[in-house]
Structure 1
């Protein structure tokens, strides 16, 4: 398995099929998928294996990046994902995360995604990265702003209004609002 980067508390690495039980575990709580639009997509080990095999492993091969496993160093447990996705809906790269609720409120989402941004600035050819968060999801909005992302636009999808945030990785500053 390929380690991408580390923080004081986390290892960020590529997923393997052996991570399927952990993927199922962090996707199972209802509150994890409240604003994602994919509630009920991962309810069995087979679903988790398919996500790893058919999405993440494919994206690693195709783009050189994808969502990466977030591993707590103290327990060597996969607690969620973070990282980038080539988001075809917006023809741009998105940064995102998902953590099991047991790990919420500890700054881990910010820590993991800051490590991804730092990694991308050094090792990836990305200009602007976007993050979408439902306007009701104050936790994710806080993570985006702590990462230095700035409000870009807003859109409606289903029952939710989403805020889009952006950051320029080439200058290290905020992305243009145009």
Structure 2
């Protein structure tokens, strides 16, 4: 049984399952989607299953949360992810918010809609005091989403080949 986290007017936000591998492959194999992430594009459905199993399912168990499948109610299709991740990189040891969607769903307010629902869920069901959002400087669309979610600019840093702006939301 798939665990539903929250819902909005247009979306179901739920935990990923291995049955989502094809949809995960679709959005994580797209160069445009991954342009600002620093992640390599997936090469196979097996790569997608590995991410689901070794990252998201593992983090649900370890932290109680991870990125969540974002499904269109109208079609039942997983169009991307929204949600939190406990970051353990050297530049951050905190929970951040992330969202990643297929390009045909950009510009429809879905990142903001799903992000607001996840933040509301966090306020009611998670014991977080702060959420971070890191965005590559050139990714103005994602920066705009964080601002709409109520995040404030915190600082700027470099990681790999990217300069990132860090935003924060105090809960």
TM interval, shorter chain, is over 0.9
Deviations 1:64-110 (A, max 9, x none): 10000000000010000010000011110010010000100000001
SS of 1:38's equivalent in the other structure is coil
Quick one: which of 158, 161, 167 aligns to 1:159? 161
SS of 1:126's equivalent in the other structure is coil
The structural deviation recorded for 1:43 is 1.7
Aligned pair count? 168
Which residue pairs with 1:19 in the alignment? 20
Which residue pairs with 1:51 in the alignment? 51
Which residue pairs with 1:100 in the alignment? 102
User: Where do 1:22-171 residues align within 5 Å?
Assistant: 22-40=23-41, 42-89=42-89, 90-169=92-171
Question: What is the TM-score when the length of structure 1 is the normalising length?
Answer: 0.93
Consecutive unaligned residues of structure 1, counting only runs of 5 or more, are: 170-178
Consecutive unaligned residues of structure 2, counting only runs of 5 or more, are: none
Deviates further, 51-60 or 30-39: 30-39
The CA RMSD over aligned residues, in Å, is: 0.7
> For the residues of structure 1 that align with 2:165 and 2:69, how far apart are their CA atoms?
25
Which residue pairs with 1:172 in the alignment? none
> For the residues of structure 2 that align with 1:161 and 1:86, how far apart are their CA atoms?
21
SS of 2:53's equivalent in the other structure is helix
Deviations 1:37-78 (A, max 9, x none): 0123x2210000000000000000011100000000000100
> For the residues of structure 2 that align with 1:43 and 1:125, how far apart are their CA atoms?
36
> For the residues of structure 2 that align with 1:102 and 1:64, how far apart are their CA atoms?
30
> For the residues of structure 2 that align with 1:28 and 1:54, how far apart are their CA atoms?
18
The structural deviation recorded for 1:29 is 1.7
SS of 2:60's equivalent in the other structure is helix
> For the residues of structure 2 that align with 1:92 and 1:158, how far apart are their CA atoms?
19
